[in-house]
Structure 1
Amino acid sequence: MKLSTTTRYGLRALSDLCAQGGEGPVAVSDIARRQDIPANYLEQLFARLRRGDILRSVRGAQGGYLLARPAGEITVAEIVEALGETITFGDCQTEAGCDQIDICPTFSLWRKVRDSIDEILKATTLEDLVRNRTLFQDEGEEF
């Protein structure tokens, strides 16, 4: 499994935006600089996230982006979907499927792994990312 640049950059940028404390709109150029992400590329990602109801934009000199909802209500799964991404384990787990399902000894394993990851992404919010929490993290454990 390999996460795309789109997914990695999108999650990093949203985490950065959250970490700014919600004091008002945050400029894409500021996030791009802090995260070392090309500003033009980040603008494209934020446009997708706006259409996906993850972000809202504010125009003007003091404009920028804000979360459309509280960070605790936005799941990583929603973000990945808004970015138009899918997380798969090989071609056999895609919509096109696999012509070897009946004889493949690993198909069920990869399906279970994918389903487990999907559940973690659905259970993890943007707030969890910013606070560095995960579904399986023990209390007090730091990463």
Structure 2
Amino acid sequence: MRLSNLADYAVITMCQAAMHCGDGRVSAAELAAETGLPVPTVQKLVSKLTAAGLLRSVRGAHGGLQLGRPAAAITVADIVEAVEGPITLTACIDHGPCDFEVGCSMKPHWPIINDALRGALAGISLAQLRSPRPITLEEHPA
């Protein structure tokens, strides 16, 4: 499994937005400049992340973007789901019956696998990602 570029960029954008905690607000253009991502991509991400409540947009002379909740309360799962939708490894879980459903022994197991994957991503907060040192297995056992 591999995250889409958009989900990857969303994590990068949120990490950068988190760096501005306590410093007021930041614009999408500033986030794009700081991350090196294209402005249209960051604008698209900001729209999705705002709709999910992960970012908050404030209008006015001192407006801009800020985290929608504390960095410790935002997880990688939240960010990925804001961009990609629910975390699932197979289409049969979301999209109903498949061509191989009759006799499929895996279908009952996929929700457990999906929950484990989501749980792993939900166990990593934006606050942890802001740290200059990598997360260790001791801090986040797989």
1:72–1:126 contact (8 Å) kept in structure 2: yes
1:3–1:87 contact (8 Å) kept in structure 2: no
How far residue 105 of structure 1 moved from its aligned partner, in angstroms, is 5.2
2:54–2:68 contact (8 Å) kept in structure 1: yes
How far residue 75 of structure 1 moved from its aligned partner, in angstroms, is 2.2
Q: Residues 78-128 of structure 1, C-alpha deviation per residue, up to 9 Å, x if partnerless?
A: 223333523332333433243424534554565443221111122222112
Which moves more between the two structures, 63-72 or 111-120? 111-120
Which position in structure 1 is the counterpart of 2:40? Answer: 40
* Structure 2 unmatched ranges of 5 or more: none
Q: How does 1:63-102 map to 2 (within 5 A)?
A: 63-102=63-102
Of all paired residues, the percent bearing the same amino acid is 33
Distance in structure 1 (CA, Å) of the matches to 2:36 and 2:102: 46
Residues paired across the two proteins, number: 137
**TM-score (normalised: structure 2):** 0.77
Which position in structure 2 is the counterpart of 1:18? Answer: 18
Which position in structure 1 is the counterpart of 2:129? Answer: 129
Distance in structure 2 (CA, Å) of the matches to 1:91 and 1:30: 37
Q: CA RMSD in A?
A: 2.5
- 1:57 aligned counterpart, secondary structure: strand
**TM-score (normalised: structure 1):** 0.76
1:22–1:66 contact (8 Å) kept in structure 2: no
Q: Residues 30-79 of structure 1, C-alpha deviation per residue, up to 9 Å, x if partnerless?
A: 22123222112211211221122111123345532110211011222222
2:72–2:127 contact (8 Å) kept in structure 1: yes
Which moves more between the two structures, 8-17 or 21-30? 21-30
How far residue 28 of structure 1 moved from its aligned partner, in angstroms, is 1.4
Which position in structure 2 is the counterpart of 1:6? Answer: 6
Distance in structure 2 (CA, Å) of the matches to 1:90 and 1:81: 15
